[in-house]
Structure 1
């Protein structure tokens, strides 16, 4: 049975956002209703008074100085949604959009957006019954909120556009009717409240973070397997080395690698009489590189946890004083920086793993048969999977250029500095997929390399990883169709099956509260 996450606005842990992304149902804690209703009453009072307040009875952006009459306030909110629903490109993945909706719920429910309880209920109802708006992925610059994508979300709630229903696209009006829901009719400020915010860029960044965590943990397993396959030393994982450097991530990664290799007969076989003094960096420096990756992802996680629990609307409603104040919480610079960090981390996970694959297929470095085939020449073995890994790593390098350092003025120079957070976050899922494919290839190569040391076995934990792969992918004797087996290996990474076979107790988490 699928679990339900109850959102307590302002204090939702990363673990709950992760559960939502991976398919949990969402409910909203009813204790937030008084705050929401107080905010809505503040908007009612402002409308009755008639003083100009941005977004309530004025135009938007560069048109903020244009006053809107009371009879046109509902039309104003509908118009902003329809005019701003100008995104292009492939739709965002359904799990990401569900996360967007949950993040928007948690933001609106803090009572600072002036939105009515009935409107919050409508958004929650759509999420509950599985109506997921079709949101084009391109069109936001990560400032003034994720306007275009959130406009597509809101338009669907109003019966304009499309929903995904059970994996199929359906006209929004028909989908609402089928679910027994009426199209949303917006009140004053509500269109702006639904459009403003960083929920799309934050959802994409969180999705990238959760996928990066899974790839990182799998890469520690394949890195340990590759170390055994190459008969590398576990000396560089000695805790005394790490303690002198003091970085928490390095200490924890080395601890994981030691635990993964503990009891390996392959390692024991070359503790003495080994002429090699030091291993290549791709083996020896795993604690330093992967530890730095772990620390970086944790920094990004801390930023995104804060952002996910914040309110990024504008203007903001303070019902205790009856004020509405304009600010810039919609500017997604924190998310942009976090996304750039995740991109760099994904790049380095794949880069180090590809170097280990290249080492394993090179007999001068690994001492194994060329390209990990018992009959090189007649067979090419792992020659081209290594090339594929190299191609994926280079693609990730090209994508890792920081998005946060870019800006372009919009809205007739009223919005003259933007974060590009949505660009930076949207690339993360494809980058994570690339990195996962590299780790899948390393899993195949490292297990094949360990096979050459039979009857010696690796550690108990690593043997579980080998058995998991060998249950579906046999030893490579003569060349055969590689692509399907690469897909199977990668699926073990992306599904979490590989880390599950090892045991979560020896693999570090990006953030402690992101627990399984």
Structure 2
């Protein structure tokens, strides 16, 4: 077995790829001796502030509008456990376990920087939860994305003080039951620790990491499926020539055009209509580099911002040294909130143009491809109604594209008078991407059906292999059947990245790179 990589929290540069690897158990996390020294030094500064009695927000004062209320030295610890209890007001279905685990990882990274006054003991307990997959149950609603993701982070850390619930060994149990099974006991939080735990953008950021991963998958697969649709409908390869895109050199456009052109290379289907009379294709085929490329550029922007946030300290106040504590606004989610709204739109547009290609395939305007992708229609409806589903999903996505960050409702009696709503934007972006996966699954089926009518001509090595892989799961349809079964298999292929794996396997054998795998670098040709 290959030994697991190790990531040093608070020291090494964290990326989306590394974060996901940690969450999947492929990379281990640890605290170096140097980092532990910084953490202990920060905690000691907080202890000294309490001893001196100087008023510092969140250490010996109340929170939010209660910031002028002084808390006695004896009550500072009670204050920290109370904040976790009082702020645990989340509602709605729990977030996915993997997202909650990402939150733990991201909070540990931020706290390990040594500016939060957290104790070594508390941080080690968070690492225990990560290492043992004891993942807290976190409600999905209740954060406004400023002053940190207060409600979800409160629920995330209730188990530290013996409260709340966790998902442990595949079962949801109370923290009390977890303590019985493991021998753990509740932690006695010190001054500032409760506030340090719940102030931050880790709910927004965890969703953003998943958006980066899932949007990349959809982008990669949309190019491949779109190329198969070009083959099926005998579109032109010229719109993917580098000579065109060199004149408007957006990174995303060039990347998409190169990939699609390479996928079409060596195709008998393309050669068959090289001298046809058709001058140009509809936009959904011809403008894939421009539309998919724009969404890729949006993905790149989000990924770059996510990487900054992954290596930032976002709680409040920040402990610089004994003479300087800063009550600022690093917890404000606006930098990610706006980018998530942009990514949400970028994802929706992938689904929008995919639906248009599906509709195009049904029209019967491409020589050799029958209307509704079936020869005997009338008694058979063919693929007609599958497009109804993609139309419904595309329309739903458009409704979800209203930018969450355009709204702000004052909270905390006006102390927090502008908030980002980035938590809503993150959840919404993932909802849109779930719908896009379904749309792409249906395009995968319709592209494979159109592709079939080009036989016995063959495509290039990539698309031929992909078509074969699809046919192992979903048979050619010569008459109506329960298409929802086919759609479910298509969705499974999209989620499992079946077509990406096919391309990767061929690329490895042939020594060709189609830059399909998710990496932390934005690879362009």
TM-score calculated relative to the size of structure 1? 0.96
Deviations 1:181-218 (A, max 9, x none): 22222110000000000001110111112111101101
Aligned to 2:311: 309
**Runs of 4+, deviation exceeding 4 Å:** 1-5, 508-512
- CA change 1:366–1:178 in 2 (3 A) is farther
Aligned to 1:363: 364
State how far apart, in whole Å, the 1-side matches of 2:173 and 2:155 are.
14
1:169 aligns with 2:160: no
Tell me if structure 2 keeps the 8 A contact 1:8–1:106: yes
- CA change 1:195–1:510 in 2 (3 A) is same
Of residues 222, 226, 247 in structure 2, which corresponds to 1:223?
A: 226
Aligned to 1:426: 427
Matches within 5 A, 1:109-508: 109-272=112-275, 274-319=276-321, 321-364=322-365, 368-503=369-504, 505-507=513-515
**Structure 2 counterpart SS, 1:424:** helix
Matches within 5 A, 1:79-118: 79-118=82-121
Deviations 1:348-373 (A, max 9, x none): 11011111000001113575211111
State how far apart, in whole Å, the 2-side matches of 1:399 and 1:301 are.
21
**Structure 2 counterpart SS, 1:363:** coil
Aligned length in residues: 513
State how far apart, in whole Å, the 2-side matches of 1:265 and 1:384 are.
31
CA-atom RMSD in angstroms: 1.6
State how far apart, in whole Å, the 2-side matches of 1:185 and 1:110 are.
22
**Structure 2 counterpart SS, 1:245:** coil
State how far apart, in whole Å, the 1-side matches of 2:326 and 2:344 are.
35
Aligned to 2:510: none
TM-score calculated relative to the size of structure 2? 0.95
**Structure 1 counterpart SS, 2:59:** coil
Q: Which runs of 5+ in 1 are unaligned?
A: none
**Structure 2 counterpart SS, 1:427:** helix
Q: Which runs of 5+ in 2 are unaligned?
A: 508-512
Deviations 1:420-459 (A, max 9, x none): 0000001122211110111111111001101011101111
1:513 aligns with 2:521: yes
1:32 aligns with 2:35: yes
- How far is 1:264 from its partner? 0.9
State how far apart, in whole Å, the 2-side matches of 1:307 and 1:313 are.
12
- How far is 1:279 from its partner? 0.2
Tell me if structure 1 keeps the 8 A contact 2:165–2:173: yes
Deviations 1:362-408 (A, max 9, x none): 11357521111121112112111111011111111111111111100
**Structure 1 counterpart SS, 2:412:** coil
